[in-house]
Structure 1
Protein backbone atom coordinates (compact mmCIF):
# COMPACT_ATOMS: atom_id res chain seq x y z
CA UNK A 1 0.00 0.00 0.00
CA UNK A 2 2.80 2.41 0.89
CA UNK A 3 4.55 1.74 -2.41
CA UNK A 4 1.34 2.47 -4.32
CA UNK A 5 0.84 5.73 -2.43
CA UNK A 6 4.45 6.64 -3.14
CA UNK A 7 4.04 5.85 -6.84
CA UNK A 8 0.86 7.94 -6.97
CA UNK A 9 2.64 10.88 -5.32
CA UNK A 10 5.63 10.58 -7.67
CA UNK A 11 3.39 10.55 -10.74
CA UNK A 12 1.49 13.56 -9.43
CA UNK A 13 4.75 15.41 -8.78
CA UNK A 14 5.97 14.59 -12.28
CA UNK A 15 2.75 15.86 -13.85
CA UNK A 16 2.88 19.03 -11.77
CA UNK A 17 6.53 19.55 -12.63
CA UNK A 18 5.89 19.31 -16.34
CA UNK A 19 3.16 21.93 -16.19
CA UNK A 20 1.72 23.65 -19.21
CA UNK A 21 5.11 24.25 -20.80
CA UNK A 22 5.37 20.57 -21.69
CA UNK A 23 4.05 19.94 -25.20
CA UNK A 24 3.90 16.16 -25.35
CA UNK A 25 0.20 15.56 -24.70
CA UNK A 26 0.58 11.80 -25.16
CA UNK A 27 3.08 11.54 -22.31
CA UNK A 28 0.88 13.68 -20.05
CA UNK A 29 -2.17 11.59 -20.94
CA UNK A 30 -0.34 8.35 -20.14
CA UNK A 31 0.94 9.72 -16.83
CA UNK A 32 -2.54 10.87 -15.82
CA UNK A 33 -4.02 7.51 -16.82
CA UNK A 34 -1.38 5.66 -14.79
CA UNK A 35 -2.07 7.95 -11.82
CA UNK A 36 -5.78 7.10 -11.97
CA UNK A 37 -5.05 3.37 -12.24
CA UNK A 38 -2.80 3.52 -9.16
CA UNK A 39 -5.44 5.51 -7.26
CA UNK A 40 -8.11 2.94 -8.19
CA UNK A 41 -5.85 0.13 -6.94
CA UNK A 42 -5.30 1.97 -3.65
CA UNK A 43 -9.06 2.41 -3.23
CA UNK A 44 -9.68 -1.26 -3.98
CA UNK A 45 -7.14 -2.39 -1.40
CA UNK A 46 -8.59 -0.01 1.18
CA UNK A 47 -12.09 -1.44 0.58
CA UNK A 48 -10.75 -4.99 0.89
CA UNK A 49 -9.11 -4.12 4.21
CA UNK A 50 -12.25 -2.45 5.55
CA UNK A 51 -15.29 -3.97 3.78
CA UNK A 52 -17.71 -1.93 5.94
CA UNK A 53 -16.66 1.22 4.02
CA UNK A 54 -18.37 1.47 0.65
CA UNK A 55 -17.22 3.71 -2.15
Structure 2
Protein backbone atom coordinates (compact mmCIF):
# COMPACT_ATOMS: atom_id res chain seq x y z
CA UNK A 1 0.00 0.00 0.00
CA UNK A 2 1.42 3.36 -0.99
CA UNK A 3 1.70 6.18 1.50
CA UNK A 4 -0.99 8.24 -0.21
CA UNK A 5 -3.49 5.37 -0.22
CA UNK A 6 -2.69 4.68 3.43
CA UNK A 7 -3.34 8.34 4.30
CA UNK A 8 -6.60 8.27 2.33
CA UNK A 9 -7.72 5.17 4.24
CA UNK A 10 -6.91 6.90 7.53
CA UNK A 11 -8.95 9.92 6.42
CA UNK A 12 -11.91 7.67 5.55
CA UNK A 13 -11.71 6.02 8.97
CA UNK A 14 -11.52 9.44 10.65
CA UNK A 15 -14.60 10.65 8.76
CA UNK A 16 -16.54 7.48 9.61
CA UNK A 17 -15.68 7.87 13.29
CA UNK A 18 -16.71 11.51 13.15
CA UNK A 19 -20.12 10.50 11.83
CA UNK A 20 -20.46 7.81 14.49
CA UNK A 21 -19.60 10.29 17.25
CA UNK A 22 -22.15 12.79 15.92
CA UNK A 23 -24.86 10.13 15.77
CA UNK A 24 -24.02 8.83 19.25
CA UNK A 25 -24.11 12.32 20.73
CA UNK A 26 -27.60 12.89 19.30
CA UNK A 27 -28.90 9.55 20.56
CA UNK A 28 -30.78 9.61 23.86
CA UNK A 29 -29.01 7.68 26.59
CA UNK A 30 -25.74 7.64 24.70
CA UNK A 31 -22.82 5.91 26.41
CA UNK A 32 -20.43 8.74 27.30
CA UNK A 33 -17.55 6.32 27.80
CA UNK A 34 -18.01 4.88 24.31
CA UNK A 35 -18.21 8.39 22.81
CA UNK A 36 -15.02 9.40 24.63
CA UNK A 37 -13.23 6.30 23.29
CA UNK A 38 -14.35 7.07 19.73
CA UNK A 39 -13.08 10.65 20.14
CA UNK A 40 -9.70 9.29 21.30
CA UNK A 41 -9.56 7.03 18.24
CA UNK A 42 -10.34 10.03 16.03
CA UNK A 43 -7.54 12.01 17.65
CA UNK A 44 -5.06 9.15 17.16
CA UNK A 45 -6.04 8.91 13.49
CA UNK A 46 -5.69 12.67 13.02
CA UNK A 47 -2.26 12.64 14.67
CA UNK A 48 -1.15 9.76 12.42
CA UNK A 49 -2.43 11.58 9.31
CA UNK A 50 -0.57 14.74 10.38
CA UNK A 51 2.61 12.78 11.07
CA UNK A 52 2.50 11.07 7.68
CA UNK A 53 1.73 14.22 5.70
CA UNK A 54 4.12 16.59 7.48
CA UNK A 55 6.96 17.86 5.33
CA UNK A 56 10.27 16.16 6.03
TM-score (norm 2): 0.78
- Structure 2, unmatched stretches of 5+, are 1-6
In the alignment, structure 1 segments of 5+ residues that lack a partner are none
User: What is the TM-score with the length of structure 1 in the denominator?
Assistant: 0.80
Greater share of helix residues, 1 or 2?
2
The answer to whether 1:23 aligns with 2:30 is yes
Number of equivalent positions: 49
